[in-house]
Amino acid sequence: MIDTLFTPAVNKERIVNDHLTENLYKNGDANEPISEVVGQNSVNEILANIPVIEQEPQAVPSFVKKRLDGWFIAFWGFTICRYLFGIGGILSATIAAVSTNADARTYFSVTAAICIAIIGFVKPEDSYRRHVVAWRYLDAKVNLYAYRLISIKELLDAMSEAEQMIDLTQRNIRTHTGSSDR
């Protein structure tokens, strides 16, 4: 495991969590908290036994940072899309159903149909999942690189692996849903 962390104490727990959850991200179970996977006592024991050496983090290459930021924006965008159009569609359908005004019923029915169509076409949940898994995996590797726990080659390999995760997740989604779009 990790013998020494070149990090301030504040980042110690995040680096260990990143290291411990690397395989979870590769397997696609990125939403489960690490304390539920290995147990909070195990995390605390690991943290207690790792010495900390104060050292400034090294800069992450800008092209890696841009990719990481792009995936971050993408998964938040798809999350917002899902909730915005999902809630908008439900509210519009509800208002259309209870409205006594014919013009209001028509307007809210069309709005509900558009919102639901956008969700069906964009499939924000699937897109969110693809990008968040890749972002979490690369973010963990960026943290390890920043504190000199992995080399630049390992970081670039991780970026490539994260790209493959997006592609494989997309292929798995298409296989399970029978969809051929995207």
- Give per-residue pLDDT as tens, 9-20: 445 556 555 555
77 Rama sector, left if φ>0, alpha if ψ -120 to 50, beta otherwise? alpha
Contact 91, 115 (CB under 8 A): no
Classify residue 54 as exposed, middle or buried by CB count within 10 Å of its CB (0-12, 13-18, 19+). exposed
pLDDT at residue number 8:
47
Q: Give the whole-angstrom CA distance, residue 127 versus residue 96.
A: 30
pLDDT at residue number 98:
96
Q: Average pLDDT over the chain, rounded to whole?
A: 79
- Give per-residue pLDDT as tens, 30-76: 555 555 555 556 666 766 666 565 678 899 999 999 999 999 999 99
Lowest mean pLDDT among 21-30, 50-59, 72-81, 110-119: 21-30
Confidence band for 144, pLDDT divided at 50, 70 and 90 = very high
Task: Name the pTM for this structure.
Answer: 0.61
Contact 134, 78 (CB under 8 A): no
